[in-house]
Amino acid sequence: MSELTRLFPYLDSQYMSYPEPTRAGNFVLTGTRQVGHTEVREITVKTAVTPRGRGVRVTGYDINTYRGCAHGCVYCFARYTHGYMADSDFFGHVYAKVNVPEALERQLARGWKSGVAINLGSVTDPYQPIEASYRLTRRILEVLLRYRVPVSITTKSVMFLKDMDLLEELARVCGVQVRISLISPSKPLARQLEPYAPTPQKRFEALARCREAGCSTAVLMMPVLPYLTDSIEEIKKLYQEASHAGVQAVVAAPLRLRGSVREVFMNFLHRNHPRLVHRYSALYASGDDVDDSYASWLSLVVGIMSEYYRIPRELPPLGRPVVQRELFALLDAGPDGSCPV
């Protein structure tokens, strides 16, 4: 058994082979290093910030410090992104954008609309284990603080606690959201589903610390896994813990079995919860999305919990809204030069 098969037993060998990339699209491979069980592929990039959406439909701006993720979640929806790197080992090969702080500084120095936020980690985790060695996300925060750019962070880790000095200052001058992915309050279940992420308890404690520091906080209960993490008791406990931690939103959505997620997740079920295989096949018989009646049931449960614990289902938008460039130009051309948005 190879080391990776031992670490991620729900992956078949078909997901372990890959051609060697040296240059693809917008990056150049400059070296490799072994950090723990991760082969880090160091790359340089031309740009740090990428728009979400296209042209006039841009809805936000993202930075992904790393590509690939060593947290190894069995339901990981981001694995398809390694296809762009001609690499199918999403958990074992992590690409570190070693010049991303400098690329960000260049982009911001060319001009950035005041108050428009940047999302860190919309695809892969900016605080995954190799951040302890590379500290790239910390250096990104330093640049964002210099330019006073609001930031929304999505992570499954608590490593951002090491950067609380920067987050506290960013929260004071322009705004910070910390959105922690947390799908179950149960430690044994979380260990099985997200084998290399911190325990749920540590994540709740980190959320409480963020509130003390003035950050907005949310729990991402995404994905909800039918028959595994969706009992009323589990969901209630998650809301209780979120309430104790002062969390301001719980965002929930059911599992999607898109692309290779279906094969990997069903493989996991076969090995660990074989009695659920048929039930999932029925729930996802018509495609990537769960059966409508299940989705309606979940929405009802989450709605009731949200009302009962007084925790909204989404955070208010951070910073200035992103609107199309032409509209910005028109609005900015007001007589006193101030933006009315």
Interface size with ligand SF4, residues (CB under 6 A) = 9
Closest CB 305 distance from ligand SF4, rounded Å: 23
In the shown chain, the binding pattern of residues 24 to 43 toward ligand SF4, with x for contact by CB under 6 A and - for none, equals --------------------
Closest CB 327 distance from ligand SF4, rounded Å: 33
Closest CB 218 distance from ligand SF4, rounded Å: 15
Beta strands at 66-67 and 27-35: parallel, antiparallel or unpaired: unpaired
Site for ligand SF4 in 137-176 (CB under 6 A): 156
119 binds ligand SF4 (CB under 6 A): no
Closest CB 72 distance from ligand SF4, rounded Å: 6
Spatial distance between the Cα atoms of 338 and 340, rounded to a whole number of angstroms = 6
Closest CB 68 distance from ligand SF4, rounded Å: 8
222 binds ligand SF4 (CB under 6 A): no
Beta strands at 118-120 and 93-97: parallel, antiparallel or unpaired: unpaired
Closest CB 156 distance from ligand SF4, rounded Å: 4
124 binds ligand SF4 (CB under 6 A): yes
| Beta bridge partners of residue 151, listed in sequence order | 118, 176
125 binds ligand SF4 (CB under 6 A): yes
Contacts of 331 (CB under 8 A, 6+ apart): 323, 339, 340, 341
Spatial distance between the Cα atoms of 8 and 6, rounded to a whole number of angstroms = 6
- Output 93 or 156, the one with its CB closest to ligand SF4: 156
Q: Select from 142, 50, 133 the least CA-distant residue to 102.
A: 142
- Output 221 or 322, the one with its CB closest to ligand SF4: 221
Closest CB 56 distance from ligand SF4, rounded Å: 29
Q: Select from 307, 177, 317 the least CA-distant residue to 247.
A: 177
339 binds ligand SF4 (CB under 6 A): no
Determine if the peptide bond prior to 223 is cis (ω within 30°).
yes
Site for ligand SF4 in 50-109 (CB under 6 A): 69, 71-73, 76, 78
Q: How many CA atoms lie less than 13 Å away from 212 in the CB half-sphere? A: 11
Closest CB 225 distance from ligand SF4, rounded Å: 12
- Output 78 or 304, the one with its CB closest to ligand SF4: 78
- Output 97 or 156, the one with its CB closest to ligand SF4: 156
List interacting residues with ligand SF4 (CB under 6 A): 69, 71-73, 76, 78, 124-125, 156
